Amino acid sequence: MKFEIERIDTGYLITTEDGKYAYESFADILRMLSDYYDPGSRHDAKRVYIIEAPGDKHPDFTEEIANVIWRDNV
């Protein structure tokens, strides 16, 4: 399926063969694409999550966040 992404005042407009959809953030677009192409299950051994977190130089960035983002791929 073909997706067209366009920047609009309120976020992003995605045009597909099925219609047009508006999203406020790019993270929302990534979540939609992930759910569409490979939704996975909460019971799967591996699953992709799209998260929003403060930048690694921001004072709110914690070691717990770092462990989620950069954990060892075992």
Q: What is the pLDDT of residue 73?
A: 52
Mean pLDDT by 10 residues, the chain (74 residues): 91 93 93 83 86 94 91 60
- Hunting for tokens 């192409």 — which residue is that? 37
Q: What is the pLDDT of residue 12?
A: 96
Nearest 5°: phi and psi at 29? Answer: -65, -45
Q: What is the pLDDT of residue 32?
A: 87
Query: Cβ-count burial of 58 within 10 angstroms (0-12 exposed, 13-18 middle, 19+ buried)?
Result: exposed
Query: Cβ-count burial of 41 within 10 angstroms (0-12 exposed, 13-18 middle, 19+ buried)?
Result: exposed
Alpha carbon distance 10, 40 (integer Å):
29
Q: Are 36 and 44 in contact (CB under 8 A)?
A: no
